[in-house]
Amino acid sequence: MYTNFYSKNVENSNIYILAIESSCDDTSAAVLHNNRKLSNVVATQKIHEEYGGVVPELASRAHQQNIVPVVDRALAKANIDKKQLSAIAFTRGPGLMGSLLVGTSFAKSLAQGLGIPLIEVNHMEAHILAHFIKDEEQSMPGFPFLAMTISGGHTQIVKVNDYFDMEILGETLDDAVGEAFDKSAKLLGLPYPGGPLIDAHAKKGNPKAFKFPKPKVEGLNFSFSGLKTSILYFIQKETAANPDFIAENIDDICASMQYTIINILMDKLKLASKQTGIKQVAIGGGVSANSGIRKALTEANKKYGWKTYIPKFEYCTDNAAMIGIVGYLKFMEGSFTDQGVSPKARFALGS
């Protein structure tokens, strides 16, 4: 249906994609010209802070309020008129249904109104393919490479054979690593999302001050629920003896928790590299903003002879530019979605 449109644009290599991300609590829109980002606007919803986690109904409502101004701003920043757009890419899943519905409905209506193709994107695939956004300061991985996706909803090690040929080698059996950060932060009385706050405290603390157990999980799978429980018991015990324990030791507690979590992640990455013989290693997802994992991966280049790929901060947490690059890659393949599409709260990688 869009074949003429598609070949015309690929020939000219003058493709403009508007991308929309609304899977969780960030409303984001981006414009890409081919594989380059022109704009990437993110409205983070502050409302969830006071509830200690994302409240789905409030997230959905906030997306409805944010989506039009965020898209307008992305177009204005890119200096692009809607009529110049080649296609609209949107996050189909995985994520919160009420949140996904806002972005999906908006993308469908706009694509229909403009008479241009619609492209569905898997959010977790986008966290990985964000490494293909063209940037003079960053190099892109070659195939195959290993990608570890570490976010508030996922923890996976993926073998990436090609843009759209990915195999999950291991994943979490319970909590995601971002949840481990956020739930541990909550135990310390820190607001949501606690991950960045733990990171900030950890920079000032001693990572060896307290010892937390590492879970014993076979192969390349992860588990974080035991760590959360041991942190809970540790805090209960210490605060019973000294009610000011948290306030007096927050930096050391955070540094020790973060150290344990980073060790768990790095142990699995090392095993995955050993098992597959692949030494190109990328990370993606919100937790890749963490200073501990960034440092560990940077050191791994020398230590293990790896070539590591660490996303710019802008592309770590949820953003629409990563949706846009997948949109561009799918556009080049002529892989479009019809208007009957509906969001998928659960959306497996490669399905």
Provide φ and ψ at 93, rounded to 5°. Answer: 165, 180
Using an 8 Å Cβ cutoff, are 176 and 155 in contact?
yes
When asked if residue 318 is in the footprint of ligand KG4 (CB under 6 A), the reply is yes
Among positive and negative, which fits the CA dihedral 175, 181, 185, 191? negative
- Contact stretch for ligand KG4 (CB under 6 A) within 81-89, 105-113, 249-257, 282-290: 282-290
- Contact stretch for ligand KG4 (CB under 6 A) within 14-22, 150-158, 218-226, 227-235: 150-158
When asked if residue 289 is in the footprint of ligand KG4 (CB under 6 A), the reply is yes
Smaller CB separation from ligand KG4, 186 or 270: 186
Among positive and negative, which fits the CA dihedral 92, 55, 315, 277? negative
Mask 11-40, x = binds ligand KG4 (CB under 6 A)?
Answer: -------------x----------------
Alpha-carbon gap, residue 197 to 220, rounded angstroms: 28
Quickly list H helices, the chain. 3-12, 56-78, 97-114, 123-129, 177-187, 195-202, 225-241, 245-276, 291-304, 321-333
Radius of gyration of the chain, Cα coordinates, nearest whole angstrom: 21
- Contact stretch for ligand KG4 (CB under 6 A) within 69-77, 206-214, 283-291, 331-339: 283-291
Kindly report whether the peptide bond that precedes residue 191 is cis, defined as omega within 30 degrees of 0.
no
Using an 8 Å Cβ cutoff, are 319 and 138 in contact?
no
Using an 8 Å Cβ cutoff, are 46 and 193 in contact?
no
Residue of 286, 324, 327, 343 that binds ligand KG4 (CB under 6 A): 286
28 binds, among ligand KG4, Zn ion, none (CB under 5 to 8 A by kind): none
327 binds, among Zn ion, ligand KG4, none (CB under 5 to 8 A by kind): none
When asked if residue 207 is in the footprint of ligand KG4 (CB under 6 A), the reply is no
Q: Which residues pair with 259 in a beta bridge?
A: none
Smaller CB separation from ligand KG4, 285 or 324: 285
- Point out which residues bind Zn ion (CB under 5 A): 151, 318
Using an 8 Å Cβ cutoff, are 182 and 193 in contact?
yes
Quick check: helix, strand or coil at residue 289? Answer: helix
Mask 166-205, x = binds ligand KG4 (CB under 6 A)?
Answer: ------------x--xx----------xxxx--x------
182 binds, among ligand KG4, Zn ion, none (CB under 5 to 8 A by kind): ligand KG4
Annotated binding site for Fe cation: 123, 127, 318
Annotated binding site for substrate: 149-153, 182, 195, 199, 290
Interface with ligand KG4 by CB under 6 A: which residues? Answer: 24, 151-153, 178, 181-182, 193-196, 199, 285-287, 289-290, 317-318
